[in-house]
């Protein structure tokens, strides 16, 4: 749905932006095209990252989703740089054309459709714990919000012919906004690729869950890392040194089950059992 909406909006913005002489609306059309490219990336990528684990990829293929998320951020950044450069070059022109009123149709339609698309897509992304889909949702919202300065630029340019340059200033504002969104999208994915641990709040939640399991005396040496929208956990659990191997194994199984079921998006757990010697 996002793909079709972006294609239709890009065509509408290009047509009205060129006919109505609005640089800001043409820049907005480029943003819609970049939205369409990320829709394609998500559609193609989900065929790969949704595959089950295999011998060569024992943890699954979700890292592909992380790479696509970085790609979406990069696509946004390149689009923003291009839009900003063209706007700066155009504002110095001595023959700035005043946009036509018909141009306002494009940003108005874009704001309504893309905000609706954002709300739908981000709901699906959060429900399925997919950072790439959530990133694509923010791409939709950035398109909706970038249409706001485009709309303002056209209206101000029409109110006063001497303000025609505002249309180009609007395009510059759009480019800065897109750059900010690009960084917000790419940063969590880059942190994941660098092996960043889960937040302190998530780690505290893991300790809380484990400490309430019967037979667990203490949990320590907890290591976490982000992986495809989930968390991989490695921890040591102290139990009584008098229990059997079978009982220790059962405790480890319960730790894993509880964390996956009730933990903060825990995808997998490795538990190391250690004996706890009571004082005296």
Claim: this prediction has a pTM higher than 0.75: no
Integer Cα distance of 162 and 174 in angstroms? 21
Locate 63 and state its tokens. 């890292």
CB neighbourhood size of 212 (10 A): 9
CATH of domain 200-276: 3.30.70.1350
pLDDT at residue 17, as a whole number: 79
User: What average pLDDT values come out for the chain (280 residues) when binned by 10 residues?
Assistant: 83 82 73 73 79 79 82 82 75 59 82 89 85 80 74 76 70 80 83 82 90 88 83 91 90 92 86 77
pLDDT at residue 270, as a whole number: 92
Contact 139, 38 (CB under 8 A): yes
pLDDT at residue 278, as a whole number: 59
Per CATH, domain 2-193 is 3.90.420.10: no
CA terminus-to-terminus distance, the chain? 67
Nearest of 193, 231, 229 to residue 67 by alpha carbon? 193
Residues in the chain: 280
pLDDT at residue 143, as a whole number: 73
Integer Cα distance of 33 and 268 in angstroms? 38
The ranges of the chain annotated as CATH 1.20.1510.10 are: 2-193
pLDDT at residue 257, as a whole number: 92
CB neighbourhood size of 159 (10 A): 10
pLDDT at residue 279, as a whole number: 56
Contacts of residue 273, Cβ cutoff 8 Å, sequence gap at least 6: 236, 237, 239, 248, 249, 251, 252
The DSSP code sequence of 164-219 is TTHHHHHHHHHHHHHHHHHHHHHHHHHHHHTTPPPPHHHHHHHHHHHHTSTT--EE
pLDDT at residue 218, as a whole number: 87
Q: How far apart, in Å, are the Cα atoms of 274 and each of 34, 54, 86, 235?
A: 52, 30, 63, 11
Nearest of 197, 184, 189 to residue 264 by alpha carbon? 197
pLDDT at residue 90, as a whole number: 66
Nearest of 111, 144, 106 to residue 21 by alpha carbon? 106
Contact 65, 190 (CB under 8 A): no
pLDDT at residue 250, as a whole number: 93
Nearest of 49, 70, 43, 47 to residue 230 by alpha carbon? 49
């Amino acid at each position: 749905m996002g793909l079709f909406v972006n294609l239709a909006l890009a065509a509408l913005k290009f047509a009205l932006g060129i006919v109505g002489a609005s640089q800001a609306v043409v820049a907005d059309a480029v943003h819609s095209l970049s939205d369409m490219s990320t829709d394609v990336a998500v559609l193609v990528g989900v065929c790969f990252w949704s595959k089950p684990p295999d011998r060569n990829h024992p943890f699954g293929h979700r890292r592909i989703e992380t790479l696509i998320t970085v790609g979406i951020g990069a696509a946004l950044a390149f689009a923003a740089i291009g839009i900003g450069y063209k706007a700066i070059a155009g504002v110095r022109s001595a023959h700035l054309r005043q946009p036509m009123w018909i141009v306002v149709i494009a940003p108005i339609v874009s704001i309504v459709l893309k905000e609706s698309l954002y709300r739908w897509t981000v709901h699906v992304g959060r429900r399925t714990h997919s950072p790439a889909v959530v990133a694509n949702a923010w791409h939709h919202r950035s398109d909706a919000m970038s249409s706001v300065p485009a709309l303002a630029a056209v209206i101000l340019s029409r109110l006063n012919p001497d303000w025609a340059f505002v249309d180009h200033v609007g395009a510059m504002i759009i480019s800065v906004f897109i750059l900010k969104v690009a960084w917000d999208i790419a940063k969590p994915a880059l942190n994941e690729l660098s092996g960043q641990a889960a937040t302190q709040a998530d780690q505290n939640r893991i300790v809380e869950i484990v400490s309430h399991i019967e037979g667990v005396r203490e949990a320590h040496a907890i290591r976490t890392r982000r992986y495809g929208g989930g968390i991989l956990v490695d921890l040591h659990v102290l139990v009584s040194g008098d229990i059997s191997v079978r009982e220790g194994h059962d405790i480890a199984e319960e730790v894993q089950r509880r964390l996956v079921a009730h933990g903060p998006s825990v995808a997998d757990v490795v538990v190391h059992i250690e004996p706890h010697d009571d004082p005296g």
